[in-house]
């Protein structure tokens, strides 16, 4: 009887170890994805750029979480952006930029 109890205890310990290892690998995988995303963002230039010639339009694709700069209707540059939550959705429509700043502060709704 002692032998069976010992085998069951070892088996339980083995399953716990595998479960813990799987959890650590999963957390590490998602941490790596987040790190890689941060590295990609860090490689993008953050300073102001000279505007292209022609008519400039900004289009935000909420589904792709992207802001596209159009130069005479042709995509010129694309940036990743944050969008609203379901409780505070991103407003849809045509808007005019009346003020902008390089470092304007914290996010809306956070």
Sheet of 56-61: strand order equals: 56-61, 66-71, 74-80
Into how many domains does the chain fold?
Answer: 2
In a domain, 100, yes or no: no
Rounded CA separation 107/97 (Å): 17
In a domain, 80, yes or no: yes
Residue 14's pLDDT is 84
Domain housing 78 = 51-92
In a domain, 109, yes or no: no
Judged by DSSP in three states, 93 sits in coil
Same domain, 22 and 55: no
Closest CA to 55 of 74, 36, 39: 74
In a domain, 69, yes or no: yes
Instruction: Report the chain (110 residues): mean pLDDT per 10 consecutive residues.
Output: 70 87 90 75 66 88 92 92 86 83 61
Judged by DSSP in three states, 48 sits in coil
Judged by DSSP in three states, 5 sits in helix
In a domain, 11, yes or no: yes
């Amino acid at each position: 009887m002692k032998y069976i109890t010992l085998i069951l205890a070892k088996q339980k310990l083995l399953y716990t170890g595998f479960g813990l290892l799987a959890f650590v690998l999963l957390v590490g995988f998602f941490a790596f994805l987040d790190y890689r995303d941060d590295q990609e963002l860090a490689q993008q230039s953050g300073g102001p750029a000279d505007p292209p010639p022609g008519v400039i339009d900004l289009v935000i694709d909420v589904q792709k979480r992207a802001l596209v700069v159009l130069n005479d209707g042709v995509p010129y540059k694309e940036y990743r952006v944050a969008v609203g939550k379901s409780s505070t959705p991103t407003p849809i429509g045509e808007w005019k930029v009346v003020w902008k700043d390089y470092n304007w502060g914290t996010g809306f709704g956070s």
